[in-house]
Structure 1
């Protein structure tokens, strides 16, 4: 039996549920709208890329043991086209608006999901003053009565722009040229940033720029690229900042002391990420102390961080999703690279993942420890 057949047989034990879907083109975007829909968008250069609002298979929206159900596949609810590559897309909560970022990166684009049709249409742009054509702005959304768009390529050009008036309501006001890898809004007044060097910071927009931050773990320029995510409040005790490097290093930090990692471990990746822009680390919203990483190969690795102790140890994943490698004949030849993943907002062990072969999987993994 070849590896693909082995995996298919083993998958009956590994997954509670599994669905696969092929997109018109590969995506780096999996953005939730509610808990039954997700936005995706293509990122190919020099072509029109589709932006789609997909509804998840009906089976994932009902209780267990419902028997055979219609619409067991993904369903396209709305769609539109972008003349640019879409590297990031954020839905503005409680609205029909989306904000996208990509290349060329001299502006952000605002889209609207039309109410009386199935069209996603461009409605406005937000100027970005970045001179390097190869860089694109990172984006996050402040959700409030007057939503704001947080964006920046470097620390020096970080700003918050009112989505309706397009007036700037906050700027970093510094000359620091460190390049950003991710931005994350934490609440109505604070956000987190991560630089490609691994430098982390927490910012309160009610004050002038004075972030609580760490120094870079990579002095100089040869230490890999980093991304990070902060766990939502109320998701259990312990460190709540996870920072991932392109060489497989993963650090857990307490936001009260970002300079001294609580844990620093090495994930068992066979080689550094071939495209560090695709690195992703995410906390599970409905499981205490679980996170997932991707961007190294065709897999998504799930970890339980409660088993980690000390620094510089090697850790093994709790679960590995290999479906992008073995489905559709990908067990032979060059395996696709996972481009992004996200946890379902309400189902504890359900994730979505996308890969460079334009596949999207939604999978509910089984915790084999519970069945021992």
Structure 2
């Protein structure tokens, strides 16, 4: 695929370079960067990075325990990872979304009115279903981008379309974006979906599906959940509920069944075919009070019913509860994660099931690590679980003088590569990693 200029390619900084390029002047949404002046070098539209798998050259003699720990991690990565690539974004992201053609979308969440939404083309090694030895091309390419005037806290690709939907403060409205075709490098705003009585409400949690039509499920509380047809903006479902519990996440289990997770630790199911039926929420089994919760849904093979779709509920205290969506009041298993300290923050809590590894899930948001667990032997005791693997690479990022160590903001699994994950942190680092399969581990 030919290399094209990006709306703001200088947003990215190679992890191999010490200096940061001077930011370019703002570009209005929907406009691409003008061509360089005669004699001016054209900036790269790549997201350069370090391939730690084949070029681990950064281990030097440094002072301090943190530096020694980083050196030790870099050396141990030789045996811990099949592949490990590190990149740096000039602005951190809290969204990593797979789009058409195995593209990856990221977006800024800063308080400015210039948060960039970018679609990246991964390097060939990440696109291939099987690992391919040495490959000369190991950088992300910036294909296209646009600017959001508000922080992007959630971004979802609408399946089988070139549309993206975003949400973020200061209210629960949504914004729809069009990813341009081959003749343009712009992600342009298409429309906004207002939320009724959204003043003072939290930002909307969203999910998308295209089984019947391009739909977006959205809401900030249980009593304002609805499904909107993306293109016509027609409401096709409005939840009937008196509960004002704040939502931490929403999901389509299938085209008719919705899962709602509340920050207080309640789960609820809704049937699109019965909009008059009130949506009832129930507490996560054995959920400690006073903690904030999020949930992740496992997806069974195509054509399967709800039975293979466990719900993993994660709390800010590190508690993990697994439940069957058919009977969420009874736990299947429970455990406790290894976290730095209980209540260390809930802003970036994230739990997700591996799409191609039975019983494997990943958690993040407590510190600069991503922890992978094999849940197949868990019971209901709630005791501390031993991680199958811990990715510690983000712990060693962060510019000099930054406040505290970086925290992982989001992670996601590769849809085809069983042990490959992408993760991002608050310092702008973006990692792609594939751990070495241990004996008796997942897969």
CA contact (8 A) 2:399 2:427 kept: no
Separation in 2 of the partners of 1:134 and 1:229? 23
Q: Using the TM superposition, give the Cα deviation of residue 159 of structure 1 relative to its aligned residue in structure 2, in angstroms.
A: 0.6
Show the counterpart of 1:155: 222
* 64-73 vs 9-18, greater mean Cα deviation: 64-73
Q: Using the TM superposition, give the Cα deviation of residue 65 of structure 1 relative to its aligned residue in structure 2, in angstroms.
A: 7.0
- Tell me which protein shows more strand as a share of its residues: 1
Unaligned runs of at least 5 residues, structure 2: 1-60, 62-67
Paired residue secondary structure (2:358): coil
Q: Using the TM superposition, give the Cα deviation of residue 354 of structure 1 relative to its aligned residue in structure 2, in angstroms.
A: 0.4
Matches within 5 A, 1:110-259: 110-115=176-181, 116-133=183-200, 135-208=202-275, 209-211=277-279, 213-215=281-283, 223-234=290-301, 240-259=310-329
Deviations 1:200-219 (A, max 9, x none): 12221001334575335689
* 136-145 vs 50-59, greater mean Cα deviation: 136-145
Asked if 1:348 is matched to 2:418, the reply is yes
- Compute the RMSD of aligned alpha carbons: 2.4
Asked if 1:280 is matched to 2:354, the reply is no
Separation in 2 of the partners of 1:146 and 1:225? 33
Change (3 A) 1:273 1:219: closer
Separation in 2 of the partners of 1:256 and 1:336? 38
Unaligned runs of at least 5 residues, structure 1: none
Change (3 A) 1:67 1:156: closer
Q: How many residues align?
A: 369
Deviations 1:267-289 (A, max 9, x none): 11111354413101000000000
Given candidates 377, 389, 404, the residue that maps to 1:334 is 404
Asked if 1:13 is matched to 2:79, the reply is yes
TM normalised by structure 2 equals 0.78
CA contact (8 A) 1:299 1:323 kept: yes
Separation in 2 of the partners of 1:272 and 1:51? 33
Matches within 5 A, 1:38-117: 38-62=104-128, 66-115=132-181, 116-117=183-184
Separation in 2 of the partners of 1:210 and 1:324? 43
Deviations 1:167-222 (A, max 9, x none): 111111222101100001121111111000111122210013345753356899x5
Separation in 2 of the partners of 1:206 and 1:352? 36
Quick one: higher RCO (CA 8 Å, sep 6+), 1 or 2? 1
Paired residue secondary structure (2:327): coil
* 266-275 vs 246-255, greater mean Cα deviation: 266-275
